[in-house]
Amino acid sequence: MQTILGSNGQIGYELANELYQNYTKELRLVGRHPQKIHDTDQVVVADLTDADQAFQAIQGSDVVYFTVGLPMDTSVWEAQFLQITENVIQAAIKSNAKLAFFDNTYMYQKDATPQTETSPFLPVGRKSVIRAKMATRLFEAMTNEGLEAVIGRAPEFYGPDRTQGITNGMVFDRIKAGERPQIPVSDTALRTFIWTPDASRALALLGNTPDTYGQTWHLPVAPGALMSRLWTGFFGTERCRTPKIFQNPDFSLKRRDFWVFL
* Cα–Cα nearest to 65, from 113, 112, 110, 30: 30
User: Which residues have a Cβ under 8 Å from the Cβ of 202 and sit 6 or more positions away?
Assistant: 152, 217, 219, 220
Stretch (H or E) spanning 124: none
Asked if 110 and 132 touch (Cβ cutoff 8 Å), the reply is no
The confidence score (pLDDT) of residue 234 equals 55
Q: Which parts of the chain sit beneath pLDDT 50? A: 238, 242, 244-262
The confidence score (pLDDT) of residue 192 equals 81
The confidence score (pLDDT) of residue 188 equals 58
Specify the DSSP class assigned to residue 108. Answer: S
Q: pTM of the predicted model, to two decimals?
A: 0.84
- What confidence tens digit (pLDDT) does each residue in 170-184 have? 666 666 677 666 666
The confidence score (pLDDT) of residue 158 equals 74
The confidence score (pLDDT) of residue 246 equals 39
* Cα–Cα nearest to 64, from 20, 6, 130, 123: 6
b (16+ CB within 10 A) / e for 74-104: eeebeebbeebbbbbbbbbbebebbbbbbbb
DSSP string, 226-241: EHHHHHHHHH-SSSSP
The confidence score (pLDDT) of residue 93 equals 98
The confidence score (pLDDT) of residue 71 equals 87
- What confidence tens digit (pLDDT) does each residue in 216-241 have? 999 998 776 555 555 555 555 545 55
